[in-house]
């Protein structure tokens, strides 16, 4: 089994250097490292060429976003499985690439395996996704720390480049379950994520995530249910913005406009899934499933999982 690592980066030279140095201390090393410099204007490209010649470098002279960059790297990779990292995240266990092979072998039903995301000061991204909770199937994952079956990915629509940034993981999770596969959360291996403040505008990230979530509804949800699920998503995002304060709330129409402006592009990429699968995927966010038997029952596909 050959394992690749893919990293997208934009103007985070210092963070990327730390991540690459940590990867260089792994035993064994990954089989290859692919990096997409997405419109970088700092020293990233020259640093990679001069100091990390073993890295396969891809450069977008005009930025296309992390989603399109990851889609490109997945298609360029030579590994059977591809570990997705951010430029500020890396595995904590130096034996990660030895241990992950056993995890993959233990979960042939999964096309994506995600890991606990430990942020600065030891805080985890979610209390349901820490090293102390049992492994379980999830409705989404984070591309700062997940490994993907590349052959499976290439058979699916994959990450929609129109997303730019954000929400490609939940959208691809739907694709996994619709195709008879799954996304497994594995607690035994942890990813450290420093969450660099560079290129991290929180209001803009919220707008991108909310817009892309609605686009995903329009691409995947059965037609009859689109108005209801769309309204549910709009209300949830507005509630979130209101909790963040008045300045956030009054800016919500900005992403509404972006969403409707992209409707033509979304229609071209529409590939709906069965309502039973879509509903089971939505329920999975609040009702974790821990066994293959429960998974088969929830998605009603005994022969495919």
Look up the pTM and report it.
Answer: 0.94
Same domain, 178 and 88: yes
Per DSSP, the residues of 22-62 read HHHT-SSPPSEEEEEEES--SSHHHHHHHH-TTSEEEEESS
Rounded alpha-carbon distances, angstroms, from residue 181 to 82, 100, 149, 284? 17, 19, 11, 14
Tell me how far apart the alpha carbons of residues 229 and 279 are, in angstroms, rounded to a whole number: 10
- Residue ranges making up the domain that contains 262: 202-268
End residue of a domain, out of 193, 212, 227:
193
> Residue 125: which of 107, 110, 111, 145 has the closest Cα?
145
User: Is 29 a member of any domain?
Assistant: yes
In a domain, residue 212? The reply is yes
Q: Are 255 and 207 in contact (CB under 8 A)?
A: yes
pLDDT value of position 121: 84
Q: Could you tell me if 261 and 133 lie in one domain?
A: no
Rounded distance between C-alpha atoms, residue 190 and residue 219, angstroms? 32
Same-domain pairing of 25 and 138: yes
Q: Tell me which of 172, 193, 214 is where a domain ends.
A: 193
Q: Which pLDDT score is estimated for 32?
A: 98
159 contact partners, CB below 8 Å, separation of at least 6 = 67, 68, 70, 71, 74, 168, 171, 172
Q: Say yes or no: 31 and 157 in one domain.
A: yes
The sign one gets for the Cα dihedral 40, 89, 184, 99 is positive
301, part of any domain: no
- The answer to whether residues 207 and 160 belong to one domain is no
Between CA 289 and CA 75 the distance in angstroms is: 31
> In the chain, what is the straight-line distance between the N-terminal and C-terminal CA atoms, in Å?
22
Whole-angstrom CA distances from 221 to 46, 184, 227, 271, 275 are: 44, 22, 10, 8, 7
- pLDDT of res. 83: 98
**Domain boundary residue among 175, 193, 211?**
193
Fill in the DSSP letter of residue 134: P
pLDDT tens sequence across 89-133: 999 999 999 999 999 999 999 999 999 999 988 899 888 899 999
| Predicted pLDDT of residue 288 | 87
Is residue 295 in some structural domain?
Answer: no
In the predicted model, residues of the chain with pLDDT beneath 70 are 197-200, 301-305
pLDDT of residue 301: 61
Nearest residue to 111 (alpha-carbon basis) of 147, 79, 86, 140: 147
Torsion angle of the four alpha carbons 211, 69, 119, 88, in this order, in degrees rounded to the nearest 10: -140
Do 32 and 7 lie in a common domain? Answer: yes
How is residue 208 written in tokens? 């991108």
Number of domains forming the structure of the chain: 2
Dihedral, 245, 248, 253, 255 alpha carbons, nearest 10: -140
Q: Does 81 share its domain with 28?
A: yes
Q: For tokens 């997303």, name the residue.
A: 163
Residues 95 and 189 in one domain: yes
Here the tokens at position 226 are: 């689109």
Element (H, E) at 105: helix 96-106
Question: Burial letters for 84-110: b for 16+ Cβ neighbours within 10 Å, e otherwise?
Answer: bbbbbbbbeeeebbeebeebbeebeeb
Assess whether 26 and 169 both reside in one domain: yes
Query: In this structure, are 131 and 21 located in the same domain?
Result: yes
Determine the pLDDT at residue 148: 98
Hey, what long-range contacts does 222-229 have (CB within 8 A, 24 or more apart)?
222/272, 222/273, 222/274, 222/275, 222/278, 223/272, 224/275, 225/275, 225/278
How many Å apart are CA 285 and CA 140, to the nearest integer? 8
């Amino acid at each position: 089994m050959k394992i690749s690592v893919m990293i997208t980066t934009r103007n985070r030279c210092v963070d990327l250097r730390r991540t690459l140095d940590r990867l260089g201390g792994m035993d064994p090393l990954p089989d290859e490292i692919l990096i997409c410099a997405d419109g970088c204007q700092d020293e990233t490209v020259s640093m990679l060429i001069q100091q990390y010649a073993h890295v396969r470098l891809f450069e977008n002279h005009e930025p296309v976003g992390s989603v399109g960059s990851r889609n490109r790297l997945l298609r360029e990779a030579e590994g059977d499985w591809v570990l997705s990292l951010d430029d500020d995240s890396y595995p904590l266990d130096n034996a990660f690439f030895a241990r992950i092979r056993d995890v993959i072998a233990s979960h042939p039903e999964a096309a994506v395996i995600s890991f606990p995301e430990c942020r600065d000061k030891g805080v985890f991204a979610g209390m349901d996704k820490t090293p102390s909770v049992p492994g379980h199937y999830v409705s989404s994952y984070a591309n700062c720390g997940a490994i993907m079956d590349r052959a499976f990915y290439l058979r699916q629509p994959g990450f929609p480049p129109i997303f730019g940034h954000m929400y490609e993981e939940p959208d691809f999770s739907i694709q996994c379950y619709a195709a008879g596969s799954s996304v497994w959360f594995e607690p035994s291996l942890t990813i450290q994520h420093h969450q660099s403040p560079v290129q991290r505008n929180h209001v803009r990230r919220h707008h991108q995530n909310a817009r892309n979530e609605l686009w995903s509804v329009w691409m995947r949800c059965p037609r009859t249910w689109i108005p209801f699920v769309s309204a549910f998503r709009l209300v949830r995002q507005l509630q979130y913005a209101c909790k963040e304060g008045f300045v956030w709330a009054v800016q919500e129409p900005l992403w509404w406009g972006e969403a409707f402006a992209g409707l033509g592009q979304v229609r071209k990429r529409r590939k709906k899934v069965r309502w039973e699968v879509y509903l089971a995927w939505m329920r999975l966010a609040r009702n974790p499933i821990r066994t293959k038997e429960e998974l088969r029952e929830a998605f009603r596909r005994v022969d495919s999982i």
